[in-house]
Amino acid sequence: MTLLGTDLGEVAEFAAQHAYLAGVPLVLGLLISLPLGWLALRRRWLYPPVIAGTGLLYTIPSLALFVLLPGILGTQILDPVNVVVAMTLYTIALLTRTVADGLGSVPDHVRQAATAMGYGPVRRFFAVELPLAVPVVSAGLRVAAVSNVSIVSVAALIGVSQLGLLFTDGFSRSAMGPIVVGVLACVLLAVLFDLLILAVTRVLTPWLRAVRA
């Protein structure tokens, strides 16, 4: 099947690679941002350096990061690992502040109540603070997901296989079809990520629905 002169089977293959390159860093970035954000919140003096430092990562233009990482990591320039690492760094840059703010938005009396009920610091974090921070963290995750999907396509310039290859391929042949299909597929993928995060958030925050009902 083809659309605007583009083989849809190929598009699906690119989309799967694209989803991997944008999705895996999202999970990794979240896992790294959680302890970083927690640290920034709990040790007040760490907040400015951690937030400024992670924020700084975001100022590095994506193409520059894709080119520099092979030199730093010792990988081949075509290795998809470079893209995964770069996108993980961007995710950390966006999420650390959100995690710190989300955990910070948990009311103090709730934390004290949990302590009074005998929750230790670890259990309190996972059973009380983290769940209550989910709405804020999820908002940040949605921003990161959408911007990841868009930035990954830049990696086509260094030849990493994903939807962005439709752009470079179309441009080299002066064919508008593949480029338009690629843009549409990227936007669709971003919407799917967004819906997925929304659905997971909904499952994780039953109390928000209970209030409305």
Shortest reach from residue 168's CB to another protein, in Å: 8
Question: Cβ(29)–Cβ(22) under 8 Å?
Answer: no
Q: How far apart are CA 56 and CA 113, in angstroms?
A: 37
**Strand ranges (DSSP E) for the chain?**
2-3, 6-7
Q: How far apart are CA 89 and CA 130, in angstroms?
A: 22
Q: Does 11 bind another protein (CB under 8 A)?
A: no
Shortest reach from residue 110's CB to another protein, in Å: 24
Shortest reach from residue 191's CB to another protein, in Å: 7
Find the Cα–Cα–Cα–Cα dihedral 191, 87, 29, 134, rounded to 10°: -20
What does R_g of the chain's alpha carbons equal in angstroms?
A: 20
Q: Does 147 bind another protein (CB under 8 A)?
A: yes
Shortest reach from residue 43's CB to another protein, in Å: 18
Give the binding range for another protein (CB under 8 A) out of 3-11, 107-115, 121-129, 148-156: 148-156
Interaction mask 159-178, another protein, x per CB under 8 A: ----xx-xxx-xx--x-x--
Sequence-distant (6+) residues with CB within 8 A of 158 are 63, 66, 67, 77, 78, 82
- Whose Cβ is closer to another protein: residue 91's or residue 114's? 91
Which residues would be at the binding site for another protein (CB under 8 A)? 56, 58-65, 67-68, 71, 77, 143, 146-147, 149-150, 153-154, 156-158, 163-164, 166-168, 170-171, 174, 176, 179-180, 182-183, 186-187, 190-191
